[in-house]
């Protein structure tokens, strides 16, 4: 019995030890598995940490993917473009109202010869002074508010002019020109802002072309509507012997100029109604990836533009040729007197040049969509063509080249149209390249800088007409246009091309800051 009990006790001890070893083995195995799991988790976390270090901290990739789903265009963008083009056309029409009928106003109202140039200069000065305040206003509100304001100021301008002619108050003419100049700060600086707000990348250059050149269309219409609506076909001889003209002829000129005011009132009121009818601040969703990119604030954007050497080379090259040419062309009735060109013929020359350049700008912008990164080369070639046109024109005026009298008018048509296409026809390319170069500065701010420089140069040139000698002989203006084309060549050569916005749209940019979906404005 003792032996049996001893065997049973030893067996129990053995089983107890074996069970204890099994439990310990299982516990150790669980600990090992837990440690290995912990190690694997830490390894995964370290890999994730290393990977996240390579990704943007602001989730720009995710936001970029989300924002791509948010990109959309709307058919209403074409109505917005039409309304803006009408406003821009009306503004430039009012700006160029008096220059094509300068001789008629000199006879009808006894205005001095320099007065139309003074009105152009006042408009340019106000556009330059108000460019930055207006663009700051747009940044704090929206483009709709500024467009409504500009269309309202145009109505006030034409009302002031109608009152001025009836009451023979010349100072009201100057006030109206100043009001229209404030309007120009909106219509001239906002084309690129409008196109990037409403249009996709493939349509942006064409939209800018329509928005910019619609202003020149109004400018061109003023060349023919002025002389034809007023019936003021004033010749060089009538200007020279104006004191000998009968009172009936002078009265007919005054009534004709009043008809121009009525026409101006009609088109400006239509533009105001179109703006009030429908012109939203912006689309509910963005039309392109670059519209989602973060822009600089007004002050910081201005500082970056001020330090951008390539932008200033491009801006100066554009403004030298453009400001001088578009100050010279409205005064063509004065510039071509030495060639015995009457007011109506000079008006048709200006109209043909402006309208041809407007149509060609759309065609050029469409073609350059296929050569997006060859803009600088095209601008250089266009500038050489303009330079050639002015060299030939000066040779004709100085009688270095003999042109039969019957062919003088045809020569002026060809030369002025060629120069206009080469200078005004490429304006949208200048605007788009300038906005690319200055990005991430806001497009509206970039346009304001360009417009300010342009108007200051135009104002300086037009104020030279206050000097009697320069007002008598305007050949110096043609020489100035020639000199501007010469100076533009080295500026474009040394300018470095930048296509920052285009790189974002194409996905080539590595420094993309994209707004999140929640930051989109609800319009």
Chain length of the chain: 523
CB 204 within 8 A of CB 195: yes
Q: How far apart are CA 115 and CA 112, in angstroms?
A: 6
pLDDT at 132: 85
Structure token pair of residue 157 = 């301008």
More confident residue, 247 or 91: 91
Confidence of residue 54 (pLDDT cuts 50, 70, 90): very low
- Class level of CATH domain 77-509: mainly alpha
Q: Please state, in angstroms and as integers, the Cα–Cα distance from residue 432 to each residue in 190, 208, 445, following that order.
A: 12, 8, 13
What is the phi-psi region of residue 144: left when phi exceeds 0, alpha when psi lies from -120 to 50, beta otherwise?
A: alpha
Predicted confidence (pLDDT) at residue 520 exceeds the cutoff of 60: no
Q: How far apart are CA 31 and CA 25, in angstroms?
A: 10
More confident residue, 53 or 135: 135
Q: How far apart are CA 43 and CA 49, in angstroms?
A: 10
pLDDT at 506: 64
- Per DSSP, what are the bridge partners of residue 293? 514
Phi then psi for residue 458, to 5 deg, are -60, -40
Please tell me the number of Cα atoms within 13 Å of 311 on its side-chain side.
27
CB 121 within 8 A of CB 463: yes
- For residue 361, which of 496, 226, 488, 191 has the smallest C-alpha distance? 191
- For residue 349, which of 330, 323, 321 has the smallest C-alpha distance? 330
Q: Cα dihedral sign for 174, 178, 183, 184?
A: positive
pLDDT at 389: 94
Structure token pair of residue 261 = 């005011």
Structure token pair of residue 345 = 């013929």
What is the pLDDT averaged over residues 241-268? Answer: 83
Q: How far apart are CA 483 and CA 203, in angstroms?
A: 35
Whether the bond between 440 and the residue before it is cis, its omega within 30 degrees of 0, is: yes
pLDDT at 113: 77
Structure token pair of residue 319 = 């403004």
Confidence of residue 207 (pLDDT cuts 50, 70, 90): confident
Q: How far apart are CA 344 and CA 235, in angstroms?
A: 9
Predicted confidence (pLDDT) at residue 60 exceeds the cutoff of 60: no
More confident residue, 42 or 161: 161
Structure token pair of residue 236 = 């060089």
Q: Cα dihedral sign for 376, 381, 384, 385?
A: negative
| Residue showing tokens 């417009």 | 451
Q: Please state, in angstroms and as integers, the Cα–Cα distance from residue 408 to each residue in 115, 442, 469, following that order.
A: 28, 47, 26
Q: How far apart are CA 218 and CA 95, in angstroms?
A: 9
Structure token pair of residue 151 = 């269309």
Structure token pair of residue 106 = 């000199």
More confident residue, 520 or 477: 477
pLDDT at 421: 93
**Average model confidence (pLDDT) for the chain?**
78
What is the pLDDT averaged over residues 449-470? Answer: 81
pLDDT at 66: 37
- Per DSSP, what are the bridge partners of residue 324? none
Q: How far apart are CA 468 and CA 493, in angstroms?
A: 38
- For residue 107, which of 228, 223, 244, 222 has the smallest C-alpha distance? 244
Ordered alpha helix ranges (H), 278-373: 298-306, 309-328, 332-335, 343-368
3-state secondary structure of 514: strand
pLDDT tens profile 278-309: 999 888 888 776 656 666 677 888 888 888 88
pLDDT tens profile 471-518: 666 778 889 889 999 999 899 898 888 777 777 766 655 454 544 333
More confident residue, 438 or 246: 438
Confidence of residue 241 (pLDDT cuts 50, 70, 90): low
pLDDT at 240: 66
Phi then psi for residue 461, to 5 deg, are -65, -45
Phi then psi for residue 107, to 5 deg, are -80, -45
∠ at Cα 52 (50, 55), nearest 5°? 125
Confidence of residue 256 (pLDDT cuts 50, 70, 90): confident
Q: What does the domain layout of the chain look like in residue ranges?
A: 77-509
CB 155 within 8 A of CB 272: yes
């Amino acid at each position: 019995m003792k032996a049996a009990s001893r065997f049973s006790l030893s067996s129990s001890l053995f089983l107890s030890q074996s069970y204890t070893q099994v439990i310990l083995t299982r516990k150790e195995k669980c600990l090992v598995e837990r440690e290995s799991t912990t190690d694997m988790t830490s390894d995964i976390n370290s890999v994730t940490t290393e990977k996240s270090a390579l990704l943007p901290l602001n989730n720009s990739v995710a936001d970029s993917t989300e924002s791509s789903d948010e990109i959309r265009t709307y058919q209403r963008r074409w109505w917005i473009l039409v309304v803006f083009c009408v406003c821009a056309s009306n503004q430039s029409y009012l700006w160029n109202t008096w220059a094509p009928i300068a001789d008629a106003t000199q006879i009808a109202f006894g205005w001095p010869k320099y007065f139309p140039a003074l009105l152009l200069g006042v408009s340019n000065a106000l556009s330059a002074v108000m460019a930055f305040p207006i663009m700051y206003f747009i940044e704090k509100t929206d483009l709709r508010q500024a467009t409504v304001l500009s269309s309202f100021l145009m109505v006030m301008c034409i009302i002031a002019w109608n009152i001025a002619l009836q009451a023979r108050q010349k100072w009201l003419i100057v006030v109206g020109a100043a009001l229209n100049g404030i309007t120009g700060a909106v219509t001239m600086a906002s084309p690129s802002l409008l196109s990037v707000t409403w249009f996709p990348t493939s349509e942006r250059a064409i939209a800018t072309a329509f928005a910019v050149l619609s202003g020149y269309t109004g400018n061109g219409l003023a060349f023919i509507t002025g002389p034809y609506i007023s019936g003021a076909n004033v010749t060089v001889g009538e200007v020279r012997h104006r004191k000998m003209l009968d009172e009936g002829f002078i009265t007919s000129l005054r009534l004709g100029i009043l008809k121009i005011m009525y026409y101006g009132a009609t088109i400006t009121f239509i533009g105001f109604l179109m703006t009030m009818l429908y012109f939203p601040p912006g689309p509910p969703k963005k039309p392109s990836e670059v519209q989602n990119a973060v822009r600089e604030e007004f002050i910081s954007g201005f500082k970056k533009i001020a330090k951008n050497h390539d932008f200033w080379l491009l801006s100066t090259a554009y403004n030298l040729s453009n400001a001088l040419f578009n100050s010279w062309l409205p005064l063509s009735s004065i510039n071509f007197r030495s060639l015995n060109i009457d007011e109506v013929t000079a008006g048709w020359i200006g109209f043909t040049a402006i309208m041809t350049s407007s149509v060609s700008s759309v065609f050029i912008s469409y073609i350059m969509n296929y050569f997006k990164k060859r803009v600088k080369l095209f601008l250089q070639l266009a500038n050489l063509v303009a330079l050639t046109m002015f060299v030939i024109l000066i040779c004709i005026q100085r009688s270095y080249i003999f042109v039969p009298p019957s062919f003088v008018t045809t020569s002026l048509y060809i030369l002025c149209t060629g120069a206009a296409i080469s200078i005004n026809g490429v304006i949208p390319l200048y605007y788009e390249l300038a906005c690319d170069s200055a990005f991430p500065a806001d497009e509206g701010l970039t346009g304001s800088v360009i417009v300010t420089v342009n108007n200051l140069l135009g104002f300086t040139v037009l104020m030279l007409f206050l000097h009697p000698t320069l007002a008598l002989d305007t050949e110096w203006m043609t020489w100035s246009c020639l000199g501007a084309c010469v100076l533009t060549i080295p500026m474009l050569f040394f300018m470095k091309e930048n296509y920052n916005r285009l790189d974002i749209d194409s996905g080539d940019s590595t420094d993309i800051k994209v707004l999140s979906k929640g930051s989109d404005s609800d319009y």
